[in-house]
A and B are shown apart, each in its own frame.
Chain A
Amino acid sequence: MRYLPSAPSEDRALLDAIGVGSAEDLLTGIPAALRLNRSLDLPPQQSELDVLRTLEEMAARNTRFRARFLGAGAYDHFVPSAVDTLTSREEWFTAYTPYQPEVSQGTLQHIFEYQTLVADLTGLDVSNASLYDGGTSCVEAALMAVRLQKKKNTILISQGLHPHYQEVLCTNITPHEGLKLVQVALTAEGVTDLDDLKAKLDGDVAAVLVGYPNFLGCAEDLQAIAAITKPAGALLVSVTQEALALGWFEAPGKLGADMACGEAMSFGNRPSFGGPFLGFLAVKDAHKREIPGRVVGQTKDLEGRTGYVLTLTAREQHIRRDKATSNICSNQGLVALRANIFLQLAGPEGLKGLAAQNVAKAQYLRQRLLEVPGFEAVHGAPTFNEFTLRYRGDLKALQQACLAAGILPGLDLTPYGEPLKGCILWCATETTTREQVEQLIEVLARIPVHA
């Protein structure tokens, strides 16, 4: 077995030194009745070439589309070559959590830079070292808001929040007795209904979670929402499922959000069937001691040189056990590294320029779709790289026609509530070409519409 450093003579020497005849003799601590006395029912050992072939065959069973117009929380963006080559250095990808700072300054300084960039993007003061994904970042933000306001028991979630994020929130909030999740409706314009929000903002509300832009692609007016949530004493949590949108829309912190969380896989990562992704969370300085997860801080070594360490550990599970701010132990280190490298390459101009290209491509796609019989505009709010259109034709036929032509269409929103029946969520990014849009239009134009 190529991964085992086993030569028979050395194996023997190890066993002799221990004083046993065979490795099985070291299992005496496991009662014989509890041991497995047969081989595992798994395939036999394979060579590297054979394994690669098996996996290549599996990967080939997935359709490779020639054009994709699906976003909904996982986005196709170009990944600069430097991201892959740098992160494939063993010093980055094979290292553990930086428990020994003297030999982990690379990881620690990277996380410090990542935290700085997340704070900058969100317009807030403090970021943690990352969380699992967008959905769980909402859970951590909501639980943090409740810790900050112990007498309150309600979390309001805008219906514009990604439905999967809503479900992850529900899964994780349900076990907390006394905590309530309450939905706030959307208007016909696809944004949070401010009247419904006002009506539900009683003294028990700890936090309001709003998508920015939301699941339907619409940019919420965070400033107007903050003007309502603040007087009610609730914390406003901005949830961004497409972090590149923060290169186009104003930073949530500058519009009055108290916390910003969401999904930053778009920075240097691939869709990979949904993971690993990159949850982020940024908060105000006053709240930093309640932030969940790993946090890196700057300090000095014995000789006065600047260095970095894991800090504020008094919040964490290995110290506080059942009183910890969260059970989280890992972060998304390597995914955050990809984001950090990507953001440094992009810089302010690259990020804004890339964001503007995403808007341009989506606008072009939207305009061309609206020229196809059967498509209608639904919302008027400003959008980023996603938007919702109603289709008056047969949605199933549309999907089948696209898939048959090797095109992955936008998301059918019919399962997500009556007002969205017959609607499709479309996405275009900088990777979408005009030619791909025209290929899509050609396919759609051939579908007969009787509406």
Chain B
Amino acid sequence: MALRQRETLIFEKSVAGKVGLDLPRLDVPAAADTRPAHLKRSGFDALPEVSEVDVIRHFTRLSKWNYGVDDGLYPLGSCTMKHNPRLNEKTAALPGFADSHPMTPAEHVQGNLALMHTLQTWLGEITGLPAVTLHPSAGASGELTGVMLIRAYHLSKGAQRRIILIPDSGHGTNPATAAMAGYEVVELPSQTDGTISFEDVTDPTTGKVRKGLAALIREHGTEIAGAMITNPNTLGIFEYRIKEIADLLHGVGALLYMDGANMNALIGVARPGDFGVDVMHLNLHKTFSTPHGGGGPGSGPVACTKALEPFLPRPVVVREEAKRGEGEVPAYTYRLDWDRPQSIGKVHTFFGNFAMLVRALTYCLSHGGDGLKTATLRAIVNANYIRKQLTGTFHLQYETPTLHEVVFDDAFQAKNDVHTLDIAKRLLDYGFHPPTIYFPLIVHGAIMIEPTESEPKEELDVFIDTMKQIAREAAETPDLLHQAPTLTPLRRLDETTAARKPVLRWTKQA
């Protein structure tokens, strides 16, 4: 942690006359001012006047209040916080890539197009879904693209369907996406083993009956455009009836979308295209090691079946074999195909977060096909080791086998009035980033742990010991947890007042 416990806003450091950027020498005549008076830029209220030293110190000090993957285990479930290889940063910054302009004629960006085509091909192989677009900017953007593909597909068949089915364990982005694509969301209930229920489910407390998949399909039939299903689901459980689900959906002409957030459990082990998925997104910033950057940029490629390919966002990178003499090695040229009459259109101003694609391709090459599978298996081993070691110390709602993550809850600790939030905050005092908490919504007080393959046994053991220590504290000295964290730069923050009386920017004091 930083030695310094305070770093003010940069605006409070501003002193008139300081500069942090010297203008380059101007080798042409100064600008003639052709602006009408009212279009001339007036002053700024906040832009600070600071030197380069001030700025470097400011952001260095602020950085020390952050926790990154390099600091240690970052077990956010469904977020896949794995190691961010430095080679990826280096390749993305190669001037040939970084300086290339997105509107350069194709023959002068053959390297970029070859890279995109190669990554598309590999992601197609990994998912078992042959058609891939790299344009979506993030997972949510990929979901939206995927659902719009489904919509375009149905429209091409002359049908305007209105419903998307989403399990109650799904990410919040799924229903938000379906709504943004103009669909009505109908929830699929989970059954006692944590997977999607085919049968109706009766709530044990309210007695309310929720219709299962079979009944919903009978009831809504051809009104259903598709289902958005995360697999393995947000409990880390593989939806083992996924093929049956796909068949039921296909039976009424609906399509299966897979949220690929948890693809780190499947690469090299199983392919969504082989178990009935029609379209899915991948999170390059989860599964393919591109850094999260404190919230972005992400990258959310979408893979789909041949049937959905005509609707992919344009332009599409295509490869053509250049004409060569007999016996010569085939050479390829690449171009952007804009002539896609059935395309849903553009989903990004250009072609997506290209620099993230460079990183993902670098990651794939560094692992190789077999290495990717080894990584998957190690991620599953790490999660199951934590599960094994912490079962009994923390309550596990579902005993079904899990893959890359495990969801405990606070049922044991709640008896001492210690809750998930307290456990998470106490972990901060021990120097760990907490797991994802209170998600999925179907587990009360969820503690969702995903260690990824990047963690050595030693780090897992320290984490496990810490969790056990926290469980002891919860029983013996619960107030320690209620007060936590106390060793962080700041203690718990007042989020209620922040939302009620929002202060969203600095303003100059009069």
**Which residue of chain B has the shortest Cβ distance to A3 in the bound complex?**
B83
CB contacts (< 8 Å) of A361 on chain B: these are 28
Are B403 and A74 in contact (CB-based, < 8 A)? no
Q: Looking at chain B, what size class is its interface with the partner chain?
A: 35 or more
In the complex, A446 Cα to B43 Cα: how many Å?
45
Are A334 and B425 in contact (CB-based, < 8 A)? no
**Which residue of chain B has the shortest Cβ distance to A134 in the bound complex?**
B349
Report the minimum CB–CB distance from B346 to chain A (whole Å): 4
Report the minimum CB–CB distance from B78 to chain A (whole Å): 11
In the complex, A219 Cα to B128 Cα: how many Å?
49
Are B498 and A116 in contact (CB-based, < 8 A)? no
**Which residue of chain B has the shortest Cβ distance to A255 in the bound complex?**
B38
- Cβ contact of A273, chosen from B81, B101, B240, cutoff 8 A: B101
| A373, CB-defined interface residue at 8 Å | no
Are B297 and A364 in contact (CB-based, < 8 A)? no
- Cβ contact of B175, chosen from A62, A135, A322, cutoff 8 A: A322
In the complex, A286 Cα to B86 Cα: how many Å?
44
Are A250 and B370 in contact (CB-based, < 8 A)? no
| B201, CB-defined interface residue at 8 Å | no
| B220, CB-defined interface residue at 8 Å | no
In the complex, A164 Cα to B102 Cα: how many Å?
12
- Cβ contact of A411, chosen from B103, B238, B354, cutoff 8 A: B103
| A348, CB-defined interface residue at 8 Å | yes
**Which residue of chain A has the shortest Cβ distance to B38 in the bound complex?**
A223
- Cβ contact of A317, chosen from B172, B292, B344, B454, cutoff 8 A: B172
Are A347 and B47 in contact (CB-based, < 8 A)? yes
In the complex, A314 Cα to B495 Cα: how many Å?
12
Are B268 and A318 in contact (CB-based, < 8 A)? no
| A277, CB-defined interface residue at 8 Å | yes
Are B87 and A48 in contact (CB-based, < 8 A)? yes
- Cβ contact of A95, chosen from B21, B39, B68, B125, cutoff 8 A: B68
**CB under 8 Å from chain B, chain A span 400-415:** 403, 408, 411
Tally of chain A residues near chain B (CB < 8 A): 207
**CB under 8 Å from chain A, chain B span 362-391:** 362, 364-375, 377-378, 380-382, 384-385, 388-389
In the complex, A110 Cα to B144 Cα: how many Å?
29
Are B454 and A307 in contact (CB-based, < 8 A)? no
**CB under 8 Å from chain A, chain B span 4-27:** 7, 9-11, 14, 18-21, 23-24, 26-27
CB contacts (< 8 Å) of B297 on chain A: these are 132, 275-276, 330, 332-335
Are B349 and A326 in contact (CB-based, < 8 A)? no
**CB under 8 Å from chain B, chain A span 31-67:** 31, 33-36, 39-46, 48, 50-52, 54-65
- Cβ contact of A354, chosen from B23, B240, B354, B374, cutoff 8 A: B23
In the complex, A351 Cα to B175 Cα: how many Å?
42
Report the minimum CB–CB distance from B435 to chain A (whole Å): 10
Are A348 and B295 in contact (CB-based, < 8 A)? no
| B279, CB-defined interface residue at 8 Å | no
Are A6 and B378 in contact (CB-based, < 8 A)? yes
In the complex, A6 Cα to B81 Cα: how many Å?
18
CB contacts (< 8 Å) of B298 on chain A: these are 330
Q: Which of A12-20, A150-158, A228-236 lies at the interface? A: A12-20
Report the minimum CB–CB distance from B51 to chain A (whole Å): 9
Are B91 and A136 in contact (CB-based, < 8 A)? no
**CB under 8 Å from chain B, chain A span 260-277:** 263, 270-277
Instruction: Kindly supply a per-residue 1/0 record for chain A positions 288-327, scoring 1 wherever the CB is within 8 Å of any chain B CB and 0 otherwise.
Output: 1000001111111111010111011110111111111011
Are B402 and A41 in contact (CB-based, < 8 A)? no
| B302, CB-defined interface residue at 8 Å | no
Report the minimum CB–CB distance from B124 to chain A (whole Å): 10
Are B499 and A345 in contact (CB-based, < 8 A)? no
A126 touching B21 in the complex, CB below 8 Å, given contacts A102-B490, A168-B349: no
A36 touching B268 in the complex, CB below 8 Å, given contacts A167-B346, A333-B294, A344-B48: yes
Q: Which of B204-212, B318-326, B471-479, B502-510 lies at the interface? A: B502-510
CB contacts (< 8 Å) of B384 on chain A: these are 18, 20, 26
Are B100 and A62 in contact (CB-based, < 8 A)? yes
Are B19 and A359 in contact (CB-based, < 8 A)? no
- Cβ contact of B28, chosen from A13, A63, A360, cutoff 8 A: A360
Are B292 and A96 in contact (CB-based, < 8 A)? yes
| B250, CB-defined interface residue at 8 Å | no
Are A273 and B62 in contact (CB-based, < 8 A)? no
Instruction: Kindly supply a per-residue 1/0 record for chain B positions 278-317, scoring 1 wherever the CB is within 8 Å of any chain A CB and 0 otherwise.
Output: 0000000100010111111111000000000000010000
CB contacts (< 8 Å) of A255 on chain B: these are 38-39
| B415, CB-defined interface residue at 8 Å | no
Are B354 and A272 in contact (CB-based, < 8 A)? yes
| A107, CB-defined interface residue at 8 Å | yes
CB contacts (< 8 Å) of B38 on chain A: these are 223, 250, 255
**CB under 8 Å from chain A, chain B span 442-480:** 453-457, 459-460
CB contacts (< 8 Å) of A198 on chain B: these are none
Are A359 and B31 in contact (CB-based, < 8 A)? yes
- Cβ contact of A64, chosen from B64, B96, B128, B455, cutoff 8 A: B96
Report the minimum CB–CB distance from B231 to chain A (whole Å): 10
A sample of 7 cross-chain residue pairs with beta-carbon separation below 8 angstroms, ordered by A number, consists of A4-B453, A45-B366, A51-B87, A55-B358, A86-B56, A337-B294, A345-B52
**Given A98-B294, A168-B349, A349-B19, 10 additional A-B pairs, CB 8 A:** A42-B372, A70-B104, A103-B66, A134-B349, A250-B39, A255-B39, A275-B353, A295-B504, A329-B140, A364-B28
